[in-house]
Structure 1
Amino acid sequence: MSRLQDKVAIVTGASSGIGRATAKQFAREGAKVVVGARRDAELQSLVAEIRADGGDAVALAGDVRSEDYAKALVALAIARYGRLDVAFNNAGMIGEAGPSTGVSEAGFSNAVAVNLTAAFLGAKHQIAQMQTHGGGSVIFTSTFVGHTAAFPGVAAYAASKSGLIGLTQALAAEFGPEGIRVNAILPGAVDTAMYQDMNDTAESQAFITQLHALKRVATPEEMAKSVAYLASDDASFVTGTAMLVDGGVSITRT
């Protein structure tokens, strides 16, 4: 499959989980990939895997909360590959959890900075570059939490990720006339390191599994295929959408 042949893509949060799987999926489908995250060793390992499979990728480690880093990722894409067609702003965190009355201002602000502000800063510079050649696809990782179903104890996560849906819609409306599509995926539970950390007992994992209509959690590779669809011309008339990829957890929670 080569739906992304010769396209150039940026993926943040690429050192593990959905980001790592998506970078590999993009490369398999023909894209040249710029991968970003905090952990350089993991990024270099990912680049080596992609190249070993015949793909083309380059890495730049940094902090997504920094606007300079957002600029640097775009600059690297242009310096290395000459253009930018796709951006998957995926970096995120659960943030400070627990009863909302006990969440610190710093904890709440950090979740917003990583999950929402960083995505805006990335898109700001990615879209500016896409405008120079008349189109592109920007994708965010939001969540079903706080959109179709709510859980107690994750106010910072829910609020910041819900904000991504508003950002998606605003950017889609603003830049649609220039051929730039903006969408978000809303995963259910995905078997990542973050999921394992949050659900570190068999009982917890069984509970989460049963919440989903499909009675299982997703693999990162399943999320990656959905992102690749939104990145590709198969989704040429899709913009401003918050696409549930949640295994039916929304319909069992509402």
Structure 2
Amino acid sequence: MTDRDLEGWTIAFDLDGTLVETHGDLVGTLNRMLVRHGLPTVPMEGAAELIGGGARPLLEHGFERTGAPVEQARDPALYDAFIADYIEHIADHSQPYEGCVETLEALSARGALLVVATNKRTDLSELLLNKLDLTRHFAAVVGPDKVSARKPAAAHLQEAVRLAGGDPSMAIMIGDAAPDVGAARAADMPCIVVTWGYTPIPPEDLGGDVLIDHFDDVEEAIDGLLADFYVTRALAGV
């Protein structure tokens, strides 16, 4: 029988680049938008760095990379076309990272609450997670439209944890990019940084508490952070 030693703890996960490899579908949609405007496509290889800030920054970076005026990328009709196309192709190639499902199941078995805290719109996040059969693992899926401020604001993580039924003072963030670490720091939460995601800043320079190279390392990283947490409390006499 599994020891439910994570009862009371909430683990918040970023989505794109942390739970799910999504760059193939996102860059695929970007390239279809570029082709519609008579522009060259951007290569899939190396394009992951374009992802992270949402559809609008992705479009802007894509248009800039082709040498097109960035103003073209800010057309509301283009954004709407991007979203419509992405919805049609949201899980053509996207897949959970290796070890993701097994780790989510293990954390749940140990009593942890799991929540997705992402800057991707909630409806798109839920659609993707449903198609990949991942929704069942999470107490809540929280995009920027469900909170008062998006990552890197502390409010995103704090409100996401509360929506999942957890306590922000007993929560850990797992992400791949600066907004994840920034939000965790602002919320006074420990942060685990994954090395497989989407960030123009080297993962080791993001300032997380622990750096991991595979989902198999998540539990050990959490256990280390909790050991530090309980030692600190004991030393403080709490």
TM-score range, shorter chain: 0.3 to 0.5
TM-score by length of 1: 0.43
The higher-RCO structure (CA 8 Å, 6+ apart) is: 2
TM-score by length of 2: 0.45
Q: Determine which structure has more spread, i.e. the larger CA radius of gyration.
A: 2
